[in-house]
């Protein structure tokens, strides 16, 4: 665990947490000589320059874990201790912190980092993250090697992750370890809950992507800067094929990017001591974190997030404002269902005129692994500074709508001291004990469908994935394949609530309609 809090200075200081430096970078040249630590160093130096301070002011360094570290075949290609190498590169000796995985991590570390700063554990925290997946995958496809990417880093960072696998074996066997399958499952439940037909559902998806594309087109850091009409978002022209129904390619997070971002967090007292220009200060007004039921297939239902609703409510309560006071949002947007669930959790419409993103979203701006929300926070800070007033709200999501963190930012000092925050309050409001359990069917059992999706290949529908409720109230998973009529029905109809049968298999169960 992190070291016990030790007061830095006996003299009273203003412990209000503020962001004083941000930096982002996007590279489009796929240069194999640029290592991930080079990318981290560039944005870390940029954030320090933005604040006007040197690296010796930093006493806590957070490195968001690389996405490739979660892939057994790719992890050996990267240095296991990028924080140590980065600290050496910048000439500083901070505490090194990291975690295991999750897109929630940037906002989670900002919230917890603010706690640590207020407690006096640290003076200044630098959050950094990078992904060079475009270069990594391009080099490997070309038969190249990246020896410099593996070098250095002899001091491991303290890992604050839960150390818990994200999927059950049955989920993995049926394809639910892949976000490109799981989030379309949530979409089927959302369609049913809203009472939409297919045309209405698809129209809403096209409009959401079109609105986000306009933001990305105006963002110089965005990976994809094309303005898409709703019709273009839904068209399969130009390689925009269906990945998992009803999501075209442009509705899936872009993982193959070369991007990095950094955020510098300190307190008002330390900023004054360092002589940081007050015009650079952006205040943290509220922050909360909570997890839903850990395994996606065991959620109470698939169209809501009690944890995100609780975290949003707690952050707003801490800030002392209502959702109507927020001027701009960045809602985690790996897939459209994540945006819709976030809007529902916060009590806003998907087409709210304030918009749902300041970056353009993961499907267009880019989805740099676990680090997207560092970009969202950096962009939010830049927008607030430019406006000179107002509030911004960022949501960050890890796993499969599993781990959530919310932050509220503003240009004016907060009405309530950060020290009053209870970091466990949001989690305490999430019911985790009333949900079905996943089990294997016995022989052939009657079920009804609770969520469904159809994975496509380049030839068309390939595999249906179905979440089913069993007669005893528990759940099972199944797949459907080889029957074009069955796949067509699962793809295009609202099948939630419809009866079927599941036959046990090893390891994959088979579904058919009753």
Regarding whether 498 and 350 lie in a shared domain, the answer is no
Residue 199 maps to a domain: no
Regarding whether 156 and 276 lie in a shared domain, the answer is yes
The domain of 495 spans 444-513
Residue 466 maps to a domain: yes
Last residue of a domain, one of 366, 388, 412: 412
Handedness of CA 131, 133, 135, 136 (dihedral sign): positive
- Band (pLDDT 50/70/90 cuts) for residue 4 is very low
Residue 449 maps to a domain: yes
Secondary structure (H, E, C), 472-496:
CCCEEEEEECCCHHHHHHHHHCCCC
Residue 202 maps to a domain: no
The per-residue pLDDT for range 371-383, each reduced to its tens digit, is 999 999 999 999 9
CA pair distance 158, 498, nearest whole angstrom: 48
Residue 200 maps to a domain: no
Regarding whether 87 and 26 lie in a shared domain, the answer is yes
Residue 288 maps to a domain: yes
Handedness of CA 238, 242, 247, 251 (dihedral sign): negative
Residue 438 maps to a domain: no
Regarding whether 151 and 283 lie in a shared domain, the answer is yes
Last residue of a domain, one of 412, 430, 464: 412
Strand partners, 463: 455
Mean pLDDT, rounded, of the chain: 95
Count of domains observed in the chain? 2
Residue 427 maps to a domain: no
Regarding whether 499 and 397 lie in a shared domain, the answer is no
Regarding whether 460 and 363 lie in a shared domain, the answer is no
List the CATH number of the domain containing 71: 3.40.47.10
CA pair distance 38, 82, nearest whole angstrom: 10
For 178, residues 6+ apart whose C-beta sits below 8 A from its C-beta are: none
Among 431, 198, 208, which residue's Cα sits nearest to residue 307?
Answer: 431
CA pair distance 208, 147, nearest whole angstrom: 42
Instruction: Looking at 52-178, list the stretches that DSSP marks H as alpha helix, in order from N- to C-terminal side.
Output: 82-90, 105-119, 133-141, 169-173
Regarding whether 478 and 380 lie in a shared domain, the answer is no
Regarding whether 506 and 402 lie in a shared domain, the answer is no
Given a contact cutoff of 8 angstroms between Cβ atoms, the answer to whether 274 and 59 are in contact is no
Regarding whether 382 and 271 lie in a shared domain, the answer is yes
Least confident interval from 88-92, 163-167, 275-279: 163-167
Regarding whether 121 and 47 lie in a shared domain, the answer is yes
pLDDT at 162: 85
Mean pLDDT in residue range 431-447 = 95
- Band (pLDDT 50/70/90 cuts) for residue 152 is confident
């Amino acid at each position: 665990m992190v070291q016990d809090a030790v007061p830095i200075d006996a003299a009273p200081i203003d412990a209000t947490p503020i962001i004083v430096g941000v930096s982002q970078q996007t590279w489009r040249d796929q240069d194999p000589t640029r290592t991930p630590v080079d990318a981290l160093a560039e944005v870390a130096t940029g954030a320090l320059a933005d604040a006007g301070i040197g690296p010796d002011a930093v006493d806590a360094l957070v490195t968001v874990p690389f996405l490739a570290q979660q892939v057994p075949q790719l992890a050996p290609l990267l240095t296991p201790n990028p924080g140590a190498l980065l600290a050496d590169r910048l000439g500083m000796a901070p505490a090194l912190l990291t975690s295991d995985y999750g897109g929630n991590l940037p906002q989670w570390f900002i919230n917890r980092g603010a706690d640590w700063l207020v407690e006096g554990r640290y003076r200044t925290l630098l959050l950094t993250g990078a992904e060079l997946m475009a270069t990594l995958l391009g080099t490997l496809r070309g038969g190249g090697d990246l020896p410099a990417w593996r070098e250095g880093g002899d001091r491991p960072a303290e890992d604050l992750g839960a150390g818990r696998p994200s999927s059950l074996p049955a989920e993995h066997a049926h394809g639910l370890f892949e976000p490109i399958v799981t989030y379309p499952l949530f979409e089927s439940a959302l369609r049913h809950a809203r009472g939409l037909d297919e045309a209405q559902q698809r129209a809403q998806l096209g409009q959401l992507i079109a609105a986000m594309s306009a933001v990305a087109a105006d963002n110089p850091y965005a990976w994809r800067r094309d303005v898409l009409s709703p019709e273009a978002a839904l068209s399969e022209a130009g390689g925009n094929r269906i990945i998992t129904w009803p999501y075209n390619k442009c509705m899936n997070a872009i993982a193959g990017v070369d991007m990095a971002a950094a955020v510098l967090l300190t307190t008002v007292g330390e900023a004054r001591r360092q002589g940081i220009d007050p015009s650079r200060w952006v205040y943290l007004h509220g922050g909360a974190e909570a997890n839903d039921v850990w395994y996606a297939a065991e959620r109470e239902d698939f169209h809501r997030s009690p944890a995100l609703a609780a975290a949003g409510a707690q952050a707003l309560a801490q800030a002392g404002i209502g959702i109507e006071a927020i001027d701009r949002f960045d809602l985690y947007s790996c897939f459209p269902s994540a945006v819709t669930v976030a809007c529902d959790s916060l009590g806003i419409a998907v087409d709210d005129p304030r918009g749902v993103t300041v970056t353009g979203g993961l499907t267009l701006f880019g989805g740099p692994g676990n680090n997207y929300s560092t970009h969202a926070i950096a962009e939010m800070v830049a927008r607030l500074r430019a406006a000179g007033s107002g509030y911004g709200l960022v949501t960050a999501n890890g796993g499969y709508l599993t781990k959530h963190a919310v932050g509220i930012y503003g240009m004016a000092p907060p009405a309530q001291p950060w020290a009053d925050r209870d970091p466990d309050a949001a989690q305490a409001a999430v019911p985790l004990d009333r949900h079905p359990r996943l089990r294997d069917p016995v022989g052939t059992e009657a079920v009804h469908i609770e969520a469904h999706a159809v994975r496509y290949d380049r030839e068309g529908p390939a595999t249906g994935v179905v979440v089913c409720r069993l007669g005893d109230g528990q759940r099972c998973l199944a797949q459907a394949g080889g029957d074009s009529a069955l796949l067509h029905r699962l793809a295009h109809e609202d099948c939630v609530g419809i009866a079927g049968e599941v036959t046990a298999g090893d390891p994959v169960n088979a579904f058919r309609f009753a």
